[in-house]
Structures are given as C-alpha cells and as structure tokens.
C-alpha cells in the first residue's frame, strides 16, 4: 500500500489490497515474534498482576510450531515476571531467544535475526500497538507486521503455510534449542576444537532415503548452496526415479549428539557402475560445516569404494558460493585427472567437472561415530 513519505508504513493490514500479493511473493515466514500484553494475552501484566491465555491463541502457537515456524517474544515487560507467566501458562518452551525488557522492539528483532541468522524478510512481528508496529516497520521495512486482532488468522495465511512439512520441520524448534545449548558448551569449553567435538559424542547416520524422506532430500538440494557440489536442484519426481533405479543410491545423512538431533544434514546421490561409483551430488547443511560432516561422509564413501574394489568419481560444478565444497573434495584426494582404467574423463570448467579418486581404506573419524549401510546390499556397519 502506498504511504506518505516520512510516515512509517505498517504492513500486515487486512485492508491493504496489495497484502495478499505481497504475501504470496514473499518467502514463508521462518520466525514469528510475539508481543505479550494485549497480543498473546489480553490486558497488561504489570497492571493486572496475572495473565490468561485464550485457547485459540494457544492453538495458533502450537500449530505454527508444528509447521516448523520458530516463535519468539519482543515485549516491554519485566523479564522474570513475564517469563514466569509464560511458564505458568505452559507455553514458554515454544519461544526461542525471547527479548523481554524495556528497549526498542526493532532492536530486539534485529538482534534475534542476527542470532538466528535469518533474513529480515523471513521474520514477522505481531503487536496490538500501532506505534510499535510502525517503529519496527520503519527501522526494518522487510519485517512483516500484523495487528493483534489477526493472530488467530495467521495459520490460514500462505506466508505461514510451508508447502511441505517434513519430519525435521516439526522438530525445528527443538533442534534450534539444542543448538543454543551446544553453542554455550562450545563457548565454555577449555581445550582444542577436536577435544570439544569428541565431547559432543556425535553419531552420523547414513541410510537409504525412504518415500517419506524425499521431501527433505529435495529441500536440501534446493536450499543448500555453500555445501552443494554442483548447485543442481533435484525435484521430487527426479529423486523418486533415482530411488526406483537399482543402480542408484539416494542416501540421506542425519546427525545427533548429546545435546539432541541436528536432523537431516546431508544427501548423496550415487550411481554404482561396473568399475566405478559416481557421486552425482553431495550436499550438506551449512549448519554442520564446523563439525566436519562433509569430510566424514567422504571418508566413509572412499572406504566403502575401496572395499568394493571400484574407483570413485564425483561431479563438481563451481558456483559463486561453493568454494568450501571444492576444498573438501581436494582434501579428500579427488583430482581432475582422467582415468583409462575406469573410463573417467575430467570434463571442462564450463560444465560439471568429473573429479577422480583411486580409493584406499580410511581410518574411522576421530570425532564421530558413523552408522551406515553396506552399499550394494548387506547389513549396516
């Protein structure tokens, strides 16, 4: 909606004729920030001394959480008092990184975006006070703002309705909360990085994707850019075709440690030819780069190829963002050399290059346990 220069525009008005179009074009909301007084609960906590939670608001909070949308708080209140009431009402666990104090709400939302590493246009804010919405909209114009009266309609809006809800989506809040505890432990750790990684007691599970996991695999190929070896997106249809092909393995990797689950963090698309295995795609989540997950996956694959007596090749296509993946391949021993024995050809820099490796047995990862299938059949090891 056009607005007068110098006057902060307040997005989120149901009366705006452009709102539906704007919502459809904007990305799905990744985090909704709630005001408390007059929004999450009626009345003002400091004046009333207590709070009640309308059942329809509780249902909205629970449903957004189930869809994988994080929720937080930006409220002008005494932190201890307000948080105590959120605990009494049984909903404190749904809110990550709450900002309860007396500062500007735009500052709270900006700090939250930085801590979560979310773009401003993936954050929404709901508040009953026009001046608070105006302040946030003026400082952070990409943040979508909503009146408190719209709270119970949010779950019907496209921007709060992800196209698919995966297993990881439904557990997203728990994974982020585990991540905060993990980061606190890293900050407090005194010792080497390797000692800290060992202390996490990590377990990396590699398994063949199931029909139910295909949506998460597709999401990984679409959203992962820094740790995607080719930058190629594999659609649901294409992935299911590979899943049905006995020559291909569609593998998904998950990571867990003593703090909780990271969820699905990687995908491998492997074609098993007679004399070589060809890795068409390796993509891992940027969230786990610091744990060495990509290198551990490659170490396992190299060891499996050595045991099978085949060469290993891998597609790599340089993009603006995946330099770190190329370094991971190089450190693992992949080169651009062609190989007459297995028929691998190096390709050229303008297309996907076919990297080559003659596998040798690998030592187990010093920092994480790997649970994986025996490729081509057999029991897990």
Contact by Cβ (8 Å): 317, 231: yes
Helices (H), the chain: 19-25, 45-48, 55-66, 79-88, 105-116, 130-139, 167-170, 172-188, 193-199, 214-223, 236-244, 293-308, 323-332
Quick one: which H or E segment has residue 262?
Answer: strand 260-272
Strands 311-316 and 276-284: parallel
Taking the CA atoms of the chain, what radius of gyration do you get in angstroms?
24
The pTM (predicted TM-score) of the whole model is: 0.74
The sign of the CA dihedral 73, 78, 84, 86 is negative
Q: Give the C-alpha separation, 92 to 260, whole Å.
A: 19
Confidence at residue 54, expressed as pLDDT on a 0 to 100 scale = 96
Beta-sheet strand order (sheet of 202-208)? 353-357, 311-316, 276-284, 260-272, 248-257, 202-208, 368-371
User: Which DSSP category does 227 fall into?
Assistant: T
Residues in the chain: 381
Contact by Cβ (8 Å): 377, 208: no
- Across the chain, which has 381 residues, the per-10-residue mean pLDDT values are 35 37 68 97 90 96 95 96 96 96 96 92 97 97 97 96 78 89 91 93 93 74 66 81 89 93 89 93 86 93 95 88 86 89 70 88 94 68 40
Strands 144-147 and 123-127: parallel
* Phi and psi at residue 3, to the nearest 5°: -140, 160
Cβ burial of 316 (10 Å; 0-12, 13-18, 19+) is: buried
**Tokens in use for 328?**
């991971």
- Of the chain, the end-to-end C-alpha distance in Å amounts to 60
Contact by Cβ (8 Å): 31, 123: yes
Q: For the chain, give percent helix, strand, coil, nearest 5.
A: 40, 20, 35
Q: Give the C-alpha separation, 123 to 69, whole Å.
A: 10
Choose among 268, 269, 264, 270: nearest CA to 288: 264
Residues 6+ apart with CB under 8 A from 364: 370
Beta-sheet strand order (sheet of 123-127)? 99-101, 70-76, 31-34, 123-127, 144-147
């Amino acid at each position: 909606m056009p607005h007068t220069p110098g006057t902060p525009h307040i997005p989120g008005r149901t009366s705006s004729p452009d709102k539906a179009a704007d919502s459809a074009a904007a990305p799905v909301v990744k985090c909704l920030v709630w005001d408390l007084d007059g929004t999450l609960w009626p009345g003002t906590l400091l004046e009333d001394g207590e709070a009640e939670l309308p059942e329809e608001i509780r249902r909205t909070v629970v449903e957004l959480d189930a869809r994988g949308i994080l929720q937080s708080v930006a409220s002008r209140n005494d932190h201890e008092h307000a948080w105590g009431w959120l605990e009494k009402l049984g909903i404190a666990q749904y809110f990550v990184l709450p900002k309860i104090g007396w500062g500007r709400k735009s500052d709270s939302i900006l700090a939250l975006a930085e801590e979560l590493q979310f773009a401003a246009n993936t954050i929404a804010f709901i508040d009953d006070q026009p001046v608070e919405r105006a302040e946030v909209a003026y400082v952070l114009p990409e943040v979508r703002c909503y009146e408190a009266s719209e709270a119970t309609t949010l779950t019907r809006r496209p921007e709060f309705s992800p196209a698919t809800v995966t297993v990881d989506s439904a557990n997203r809040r728990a994974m982020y909360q585990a991540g905060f505890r993990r980061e606190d432990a890293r900050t407090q750790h005194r010792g080497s990085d390797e000692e800290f990684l060992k202390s996490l007691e990590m377990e990396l599970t590699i398994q063949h994707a199931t029909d139910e996991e295909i949506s998460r695999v597709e999401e990984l190929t679409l959203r992962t850019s820094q740790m995607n070896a080719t930058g190629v997106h594999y659609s649901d249809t294409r992935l299911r075709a590979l899943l049905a092909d006995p020559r291909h393995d569609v593998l998904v990797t998950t990571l867990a440690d003593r703090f909780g689950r990271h969820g699905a963090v990687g995908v491998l698309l492997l074609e098993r030819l007679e004399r070589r295995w060809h890795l068409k795609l390796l993509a891992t989540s940027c969230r786990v780069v610091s744990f060495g997950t990509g290198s551990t996956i490659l170490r396992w694959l190299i060891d499996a190829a050595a045991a099978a007596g085949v060469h290993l090749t891998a597609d790599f296509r340089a993009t603006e963002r995946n330099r770190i993946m190329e370094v991971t391949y190089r450190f693992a021993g992949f080169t651009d050399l062609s190989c007459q024995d297995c028929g691998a050809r190096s390709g050229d820099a303008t297309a996907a290059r076919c990297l080559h490796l003659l596998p040798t047995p690998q030592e187990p990862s010093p920092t994480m346990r790997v649970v994986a299938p025996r490729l081509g059949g057999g029991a897990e090891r």
